[in-house]
Amino acid sequence: MLRLAPSNPLHEICDYTCLIMKTSLILTFLIMTAAFAGAQKVDSIYFHLYTDSLKKGTHNYINVDGKLSDGKWKPLTAKEIEFTTTYGKFENNELVLPAECKEQKVTVKAVLKSNPAIWKEITIWIKKKPDDEKLPTTEEILNSGKQKQGKQKSGNKD
């Protein structure tokens, strides 16, 4: 029987280190491949506004969603969208209109940064009346409900 000399411990450490590095590279490659394969491309963009008019002197959030190639929706931010407007200024997704705004409407354009051929434009009206409307308190709402019920009961007795 042929006996080999005991191996050098440094060679064993080097072999082990090389095995770990090869395994790490393969795993990294597989993870990156899976991440890129699962990434969906934005096919189109749409405005989904939370209001029918913009308020003066406030930050108005402009919601833009992207429809992905698999049919799912993704909310888009200023990281993905380049916003422009005919009046006011953008701070991320928020259109800031000065309180002394005299405009009746603004046009907002959203362009997909990764593909400028994909864009949408919308005209949004600016609210004319001030926001000084006093909303009823909880107590006033509850009392008005009781008064209506009392009127309905008394009306049924006739």
Return the sign of the alpha-carbon dihedral for residues 13, 15, 17, 20.
negative
Asked if residue 1 has pLDDT above 60, the reply is no
70: DSSP letter: T
In this prediction, residue 104 has a pLDDT band, given cuts at 50, 70 and 90, of: very high
Q: Which domains does the chain have, with CATH numbers?
A: 42-126 (2.60.40)
Residue 147 tokens read as 């008064």
In this prediction, residue 34 has a pLDDT band, given cuts at 50, 70 and 90, of: low
Strands of 94-96's sheet in order across = 59-61, 94-96, 89-91
